[in-house]
Amino acid sequence: MNRSVAEGPVRAGLALGLALASTLLCAASGTAAPAEAGGGAPVASAAPARGERACPVVYFDLGETLVHTADDGGTDYRRGAATYLRALRERHIRVGLITNVPSSWGATDAERAARLKKEVDAEWRGPVPFAWKDFGDRIRTPRTEAERKPAPVLWERAKADSGRCRVVYQAETAEEVAVAATLGFVPYQIGRPHRPAYLPAGLVGLLGRRHL
């Protein structure tokens, strides 16, 4: 496939995420929003498609997005992650994980999630435990090695499981965020300079209430 053609949906999806954040920030402050952001799609395209519910579900990568692994192998929350998850929890916003683990860890998402929790908890050094309860059964992991990210399968499954709700994906890697954007997720790459560490919880909440 021609590289420029393939990059088109990626750029449009990333522009959509930036346009959405810009629009919601302007709406929250009572100022006018720009018609377009970064030369990408018009802001109006951020509205839910016909029949789509606005309720947001926020999916994350795990390693170096919510959890940091130190040089000694110990794990803890990435800076700001615990506070951010609490802010989403207080707004009753559902969260999930889309993360690579060995497919041999179990035959089902539940079995692989149980092994993931065991592995993370065994090396946990943080003062408070990881908030596994927040994620419920929304932990999507590869059933085969071919399903490992950046293959699109895990995002497709997460989106299907979210019904008609708008879905958000946040990760530290540009490649994963770009793939999510092409599949209809509101994309946000964390840890970028001069931007909030995570897509602000207040903006995520507006996704559930506003048709832009």
Question: Could you name the CATH architecture of 48-207?
Answer: 3-Layer(aba) Sandwich (3.40)
The pLDDT, as a whole number, for residue 80 is 96
Which helix H or strand E contains 188, and what residues bound it?
strand 186-189
Tokens of 68: 């940091």
pLDDT confidence of 34, banded at 50, 70, 90? very low
pLDDT above 80: residue 56: yes
The pLDDT, as a whole number, for residue 30 is 35
The pLDDT, as a whole number, for residue 208 is 73
**Domain layout of the chain by residue ranges:** 48-207
Residues 114-123 have a mean pLDDT of 97
Q: Which tens digit of pLDDT belongs to each residue from 188-203? A: 999 999 999 999 999 9
pLDDT above 50: residue 6: no
Contact call for residues 103 and 147 (beta carbons, < 8 A)? yes
In b/e form, how buried is each residue of 172-189, taking b as 16+ CB within 10 angstroms? bbeebbbbbbbbbbbbbb
The pLDDT, as a whole number, for residue 11 is 52
Q: Which amino acid is at 81?
A: A
Q: Cis before residue 150, ω within 30 degrees of 0?
A: yes
